[in-house]
Chains A and B, each alone.
Chain A
Amino acid sequence: MTDPKPVLHLDNIVKTFPGVRALDGVSFSVMPGEVHALMGENGAGKSTLMKVLGGIHKPDEGDIYVDERKVTMSGPLEAKAKGIVFIHQELSLAEELSVAENIYLGELPRKSFGRVDWTRLAEQTNAILKKLNVRFDAATRVGDLSIANQQMVEIARALTVDAKAVIFDEPTASLTDAEKVVLFDVIADLKADGVGIIYISHRMEEIFKITDRISILRDGQYQGTVNTAETNEESVTQMMIGRKLDLSRKATNHDLGDLALEVRGLSCGKLYRDISFQVRRGEVVGFYGLVGAGRTEIAETLFGLRDPSAGQILLAGQEVRIHSPADAIARGISLVPEDRKGQGLVLGMNCRDNMTLPQVDDLKAGPFMAEGAEIAIFDQYRDRLDIRTPGWKQKVGNLSGGNQQKIVIGKWLSMHPTVLIVDEPTRGIDVGSKSEIHKLLRELAAQGYAVMVISSEMPEVLHVSDRIVAMYSGRIMRTFTSDEVTEDSLIQAISGLGDSHAA
């Protein structure tokens, strides 16, 4: 028997953008019937690599081989024609069109006069849908499908061609556990058919469950490929971040202050129900759960962006009603939102103006903005948070993710809140900034802030929190103190397995 030949081989790919070496000599191969994980921190070059593979970027150096033949890709269409298919993280579907039209987007079967051959389209589509074992048909409008089913449509798209390699980019980000099982079945089928699979994900447990080998990128550089069976989470993490991130647990090392925030029986329609918890000054309370567990929605309610349908919010023992962010700010609540670019920053504005945005009405000299005071505030928080920027005039859109996040944090610290809510504080930022932000959150608690941290990363929650609220499907399942929490019990609680406890 001869050795199997790789379906896809990347050889020494280099890609530079002005000022950045985004990919620096990346090489790896995908064998037929292999699930090959590609891992790396955000910004490590995974998406650039995929864009090179998809023909969206041209590599400066290096070659791509499909079935041992050298190829150049001019665009997604050519990649697809050569058997390289992408399942995108952000669904690229036209919601108003039917399932069939989406699956054959760009290559609808034709009849005379440029007509669509609907009969053939339906036949082909139904054949593929049958293979995927889904419960919708070719004529369904895509906008009427659940996210998981929409993803199935994307996968069905991959099956329309004789795929040699299929690239899954964070496919489970918005799937439920049951939906994940279906997805993994589909991947197993593809694998059995001898298709090579590149699986991009941050979720370790998935990686170790379904992949055969793992290739790792860091800062655009290829770190190596390991057999999944012969490695463990720790060593993969170390390869990804280059050094050990200090995520040891820290017990509360200062006294807790007064009760700052109390929530009693808060509900908001179907989003979350009967939520009760307390946060004291000097305390970091972590909120851990899956995406969609209702954590962000609670934060948005506390910040006046959603109206609760029942329950009470108490600040320092006084019941309050918060109807708008302005109300929340006036009462000393600040929110560092989940979506930094969409909700946290006005990217076209400069650093100073972004930082002082919540207090524009208070920074006045006569009728005008007190620009000197603004610059003073900016300078203060630039120094305190070590924000690296050429100056306050720099547009925020030009900063790195970590520095952008520090601008948002600085913006809210400068409001001197009592309760600081941070939602996914380190999503998409580099390791260095990550540990700085962790340290900062601890410091803030020590200075008497009441801090709520919402995070989907368990190590982060374990590292920064004094107590952890575990949520599942809109309910609090259990509240842990830092002494009693274990990874297992936490996972059980957020999967809906633990008992329901009030905080």
Chain B
Amino acid sequence: MATMTKQRIAQILAKQGILIAFAVFMLAFTIANPKFITVDNVFSVVRSSAILGVMALGVTFVVISGNLDLSVGSMMSFSTIVVLDLHDKLGPLMAIPAMFAMTLCLAAFIGFLVGYLRLNSLIVTLGMLSAIHGLTLTYSGGQNMDIANKTGTWFGVFGQGSALGIPVPILIFAGLAAFLGLVLAKTPFGRKVYAVGGNGTAATFSGIRRARTVFMCYLISGACVATAGLIQASRSLGSQNTVGQGLELQVLAAVILGGASLLGGSGTVFKTVIGVLILGFIQNGLLLVGLQFYVQFVVTWVIIILAVWLDIAAKRGKLWSPIA
């Protein structure tokens, strides 16, 4: 039947739409400028997407568990500033674990509020966005943070180094994506994350500790943020204290673009990676075809709405919403 095939096409589009869109994009930009697909360019795009990407991996867990995290941007500023400051005080070897511990404390606080106290995650993380921003400014005394001796440290390896010809940020991003992808798709914990996000009540009625699961998702998000802060600090060996500002939205954009529902229960690490790469390649492609840097924001806007719209349109079988 004709309607069946139409439905089938809609289903395929809904399931693989993001990959198709990605392919179309790459093709269009490559035709517009063949330089787009060269190894150098691809590496440079992925490397510059790595910080955003690492954060998006963590937020994917939070979103699938049915919550939001708008605090990752200011938390990343915090991690960056802290690790730079401690680098000169404790040395890089101690600075990194200390920074991770401090970031994880913040993440645990959020996880406690959202998981155990069941407070609305949008408002909690909005509040934490502001609070952590304030904390960072207080910590840094409002100053930019720089490593005193930029040449005499191995600390730059996370942001600037490369192994086997591949930049380290890409290796970290890829490794973390593979690891967290396995955790989410293959382990009991991952299964619980989907269950809690899909129907938290039913998960509780199945003996799953919902609060603990949500708490763990925020811890994972915190660890990813700390990793992103490490890459950021290492890349420039100095930083403004607002370096992560606004990133929470781009991170969320990437996760949504990857097809995770804000209602929870759906999404994958792989799709988030695609979402991140799309954002990165759009930015790069627009520059290569000679458009202004800021056009990417407008394009991102259009793409996000189109992506989510087509996704729900395929699910309801109608393009336009039935709202009167």
Whether A368 is near chain B, meaning CB under 8 Å from some CB there, is: yes
CB-based contact A324/B202 at 8 Å: no
Asked whether A360 and B188 contact (CB < 8 A) given A325-B206, A326-B209, A328-B207, the answer is yes
- Is B198's CB within 8 Å of the partner chain A? yes
Q: Which of B182, B187, B195 contacts A349 (CB 8 A)?
A: B195
Q: Is the CB of A358 within 8 A of B202?
A: no
Instruction: Indicate whether B204 reaches chain A with its CB closer than 8 angstroms.
Output: yes
In the complex, A364→B192 CA distance in Å? 14
Q: Is the CB of A342 within 8 A of B188?
A: no
B89 at interface by CB-CB < 8 Å: no
Chain B residue contacts of A335, Cβ below 8 A: 205
CA distance A406 to B204 in the complex (A): 19
Closest to B190 in A: A369
A360-B191, A363-B188, A369-B188 known; A347-B207 Cβ under 8 A: no
Residue from A325, A346, A357, A369 in contact with B186 in the complex, judged by beta carbons closer than 8 Å: A369
Would you give the shortest CB distance from A355 to chain B, in whole angstroms? 10
B interface secondary structure, majority: helix
Decide yes or no whether B173 CB sits under 8 A from chain A.
no
B61 to chain A, nearest CB (A): 16
For residues 203 through 217 of chain B, which have their beta carbon under 8 Å from a beta carbon of chain A?
Answer: 203-209
Q: Is the CB of A349 within 8 A of B188?
A: no
Distance to closest chain B CB from A296 (angstroms):
12
B209 proximity list for chain A (CB < 8 A): 324, 326
Does B265 interact with chain A (Cβ within 8 Å)?
Answer: yes
Q: Which B residues touch A347, using CB under 8 A?
A: 198-199
B120 interfacial contact with A, CB 8 Å: no
Interface residues of B in 151-184 (CB under 8 A from A): 182
Name which of B198, B199, B207 has the most chain A CB atoms within 10 A of its CB.
B207
Q: Which residue of A lies closest to B191 (CB)?
A: A360
Query: Is B29 positioned at the interface, with any CB of A under 8 Å from its CB?
Result: no
Alpha-carbon separation in the docked complex, A329 to B265 (Å): 24
A369 lies within 8 A of B191 (CB):
yes
The contact string, 1 if C-beta is below 8 Å from chain A, for chain B 289-320, is 00000000000000000000000000000000
Give the docked Cα–Cα distance between A92 and B35 (Å). Answer: 60
Bound-state Cα–Cα, A18 to B3, Å: 10
> Which of A345, A357, A367, A411 touches B208 (beta carbons < 8 Å)?
A357
> Is residue A348 within 8 Å, beta carbon to beta carbon, of the partner chain?
yes
A349-B198 in contact given A325-B206, A369-B191 (Cβ < 8 Å): yes
B112 in contact (CB, < 8 A): no
Given A348-B198, A348-B265: A360 and B205 interface contact (C-beta under 8 Å):
no
Interface residues in A341-363 (C-beta closer than 8 Å to B): 342-349, 353, 357-358, 360-361, 363
A357–B186 Cα distance when bound, in Å, is 14
State which of B199, B207, B324 has its C-beta within 8 Å of the C-beta of A325: B207
Is A294 interfacial (CB 8 A cutoff)?
no
B297 to nearest A CB, angstroms? 32
Distance A65 CA – B169 CA, assembled complex (angstroms): 71
- In the bound complex, what is the Cα–Cα distance between A18 and B1 (angstroms)? 11
- Check if A337 is an interface residue, CB within 8 A of chain B: yes
CB <8 Å contact, A357 and B206 = yes
Interface pair B188/A346, CB less than 8 Å apart = no
Residue of B nearest to A363 (CB): B188
Closest chain-B Cβ to A452's Cβ sits at a distance in Å of 16
Chain A residues positioned under 8 Å from B195 (CB to CB): 346, 349, 353, 357
Beta-carbon contacts of B237-274 to A below 8 Å, as 1s and 0s?
Answer: 00000000000000000000000000001100000000
Instruction: Give the CA-CA distance A329 to B194 in the complex, in Å.
Output: 21
**Max chain B C-beta neighbours (<10 A), residue from A347, A357, A358, A368:** A357
Within the assembled complex, what's the spacing in Å between the Cα atoms of A488 and B207? 39
CB distance from A107 to the nearest CB of B (A): 15
Interface residues of A in 302-348 (CB under 8 A from B): 303, 305, 324-326, 328-329, 335, 337, 342-348
User: Are A337 and B205 neighbours in the complex by a CB distance under 8 Å?
Assistant: yes
Chain B neighbourhood of A329, CB < 8 A? 207
Contact present for A367 and B187 (CB under 8 Å)? yes
- Residues of A near B143 (CB, < 8 A) are none
Which chain B residue lies CB-closest to A361?
B188
Alpha-carbon gap, A444 to B198, bound state (A): 31
Determine if B144 is an interface residue (Cβ-Cβ < 8 Å): no
Say whether, besides A346-B198, A357-B195, A360-B191, A411 and B186 are in contact (CB < 8 Å).
Answer: no
Q: CA A367 – CA B187 in complex, angstroms? A: 6
Q: Which of B182, B188, B191, B206 has the most CB of A within 10 A?
A: B206
Known: A363-B188, A369-B188. A346 touches B207 (CB 8 A): no
Contact B202 A345 (CB under 8 A): yes
Select which of A75, A325, A368 is within 8 A of B187 by beta carbon: A368
B201 near A: Cβ within 8 Å?
yes
Chosen A-B contacts, 26 in total, with CB atoms closer than 8 Å, are: A18-B3, A303-B205, A305-B204, A324-B209, A325-B204, A325-B205, A343-B201, A343-B205, A345-B202, A346-B195, A346-B199, A346-B203, A346-B265, A348-B198, A348-B199, A348-B265, A348-B266, A349-B194, A353-B191, A357-B191, A357-B203, A357-B206, A357-B207, A357-B208, A368-B187, A369-B186
Residues of A bordering B, CB below 8 Å:
18, 75, 303, 305, 324-326, 328-329, 335, 337, 342-349, 353, 357-358, 360-361, 363-364, 367-369, 411
Task: Taking A325-B205, A348-B266, A360-B188 as given, write out 5 further A-B residue pairs in contact, using a Cβ cutoff of 8 Å, ordered by the A residue number.
Answer: A347-B199, A360-B208, A367-B187, A369-B187, A411-B206
User: 6 smallest A-B Cβ distances: which pairs?
Assistant: A346-B198, A360-B188, A357-B206, A325-B207, A346-B199, A368-B186
User: What residues make up the interface of B, taking CB atoms closer than 8 Å to A?
Assistant: 3, 182, 186-188, 191-192, 194-195, 198-199, 201-209, 265-266, 324
